Structure 1
Amino acid sequence: MTYQGSLTQLKEVERLVHDRTAYEFLKENFDGPKMDQDQMLWLHESLRSSELAETDKYRVITATLYVILAHDTHEGIDEKGDAHKLTLKERELTVLAGDYYSALYYRTMAELGMIDLLRALQRGVQKMNTAKTNIYQLHVSSDEQYASEFRAASAAIFSEFARYFGKTDAFILLAEHVLALKKTV
């Protein structure tokens, strides 16, 4: 498959995610996080040699994007020290949207019946949460450790996804660096 063909297929995945998340109230009242095109491309590339049917590949990517969107959305909830305070309605909608994406993730994973992939993605969620905790609570003692934790906070879900589909450590490390760099921009 060509690069252009992959991009066309990823547009279809993006459309499916947006269609499913078009819950009218949220659509009208919540902007939400932006879909990361690069992350979609890395997820798709991770599945390139998989023996899954094309429709299942897109459903797996969609489910993974849902869990990433859920966490990105929940990350938008403000804290006491934040300069920009959300209104109560904005905060409640942010929580609701994150929970909605999470529900779509679990529903899609249940439909797929891929329990081992679900476990891998949950390991990614756990690693991401641990890394974020280490960063926010300053449990890092060096620049190298900070960079490692930042990569995990930015790409742990993707990394576990790619490992599940047998990608090499070099591929995963390159993707982690790219995805982490995007978080800093």
Structure 2
Amino acid sequence: MNAAYIEKQVSQLKKNILMQLHHRTLLQFTGQPVVEDSQLLYLLLPKINGEHWSARHEKAASAVAMINAALHEHEKIDEQDATSKSQQLTVLAGDYYSGMYYITLASISDIPLIRALSEAVVEISECKTALYEPEKRDVKEWFEILQVIETKTIEQFLKRFDFDVYIDIACQGLVLTRFKHELQQYQELHQNTHVKRVLEQQKEYAGLSYEQILQYQISDLSSNLIRSIKSSPFLLDEVKTIMLQHIESDMSEHQTMREG
């Protein structure tokens, strides 16, 4: 096994999902559905690590990616311009992806997973709403909210198929990916996101720029994830090596950017 094998597994699943979600009109007006490689990696981690993996697992993993794509589309809706054609099509895209998610899960008749993912969507929506609220929360509470948003659907998938041992590593990796995305968006577009607002309000970060806050979190989360991978009693050695190489490569890139 090598990095190319893992990339191939992620790429193939992504290709299959995009084929199922393909809709010519939606593609023209709203673009390709957002199916993130990092989410697919952690959905596929049990398979990559040698666990029993069937067509049922593959379809369920695809369904999770589809519901995440739907959630992403609905998040793009601009309340100030909700009646425009592009915005209406964005709503339809989210609804379409949701429909494909239900069709995919229905094909494997997994009612418990449907129930678990439905509960996850409700919890994610509540946590996303919390980002808009003026209520004061400490850093720990905000991190718990972000973790739910980024990981809950994948956590439910792993629980449903008794892959619970992978949850902690998946949660750490997905939250780390969110902070990397926040940093990239801020550096490229200087976007004022809701995450930026809530983190800049924390007294622990007084005197730090938003970029410094994100760099600090990325460094801390990367270090924690590396420790978890190295000490994991269930990950195969070759899987550990590949994951560590990827994380440490990213850390080097961020360090170079900071020094530049």
Q: Which TM-score band (shorter chain)?
A: 0.7 to 0.9
Contiguous gaps of at least 5 residues in structure 2: 184-260
CA contact (8 A) 2:82 2:88 kept: no
Question: Which of 122, 125, 130 matches 1:129?
Answer: 125
- Taking the aligned partners of 2:151 and 2:178, their CA distance within structure 1 comes to 7
Shift of 1:28: 2.0
What is residue 90 of structure 2 aligned with on the other side? 94
State the AA in 2 paired with 1:90.
S
Greater gyration radius: 2
CA contact (8 A) 1:120 1:160 kept: yes
- Taking the aligned partners of 2:153 and 2:92, their CA distance within structure 1 comes to 21
SS in 1 for 2:131: helix
Question: Which of 88, 101, 106 matches 2:102?
Answer: 106
What is residue 4 of structure 1 aligned with on the other side? 4
Shift of 1:50: 4.7
- Taking the aligned partners of 1:120 and 1:183, their CA distance within structure 2 comes to 27
State the AA in 1 paired with 2:52.
E
Question: What is the aligned residue count?
Answer: 180
Q: 1:139–1:132: structure 2 CA closer, same or farther, 3 Å change rule?
A: farther
RCO greater where, 1 or 2, for CA within 8 Å and sep 6 or more? Answer: 1
What is residue 31 of structure 1 aligned with on the other side? 31
What is residue 164 of structure 2 aligned with on the other side? 167
Name the TM-score, length of structure 1 as normaliser. 0.84
SS in 2 for 1:136: coil
Matches within 5 A, 1:1-185: 2-47=2-47, 48=49, 50-53=51-54, 55-80=55-80, 85=81, 88-165=84-161, 166-168=163-165, 169-185=167-183
- Taking the aligned partners of 1:20 and 1:172, their CA distance within structure 2 comes to 25
Larger mean CA deviation between 6-15 and 158-167 belongs to 158-167
Shift of 1:16: 1.3
Contiguous gaps of at least 5 residues in structure 1: none
| CA shift digits 1:35-67 (9 cap, x unpaired) | 2111110111145555341x3332222111110
Q: 1:65–1:131: structure 2 CA closer, same or farther, 3 Å change rule?
A: same
- Taking the aligned partners of 1:179 and 1:31, their CA distance within structure 2 comes to 22
Name the TM-score, length of structure 2 as normaliser. 0.62
Aligned-residue Cα RMSD (Å) equals 2.2
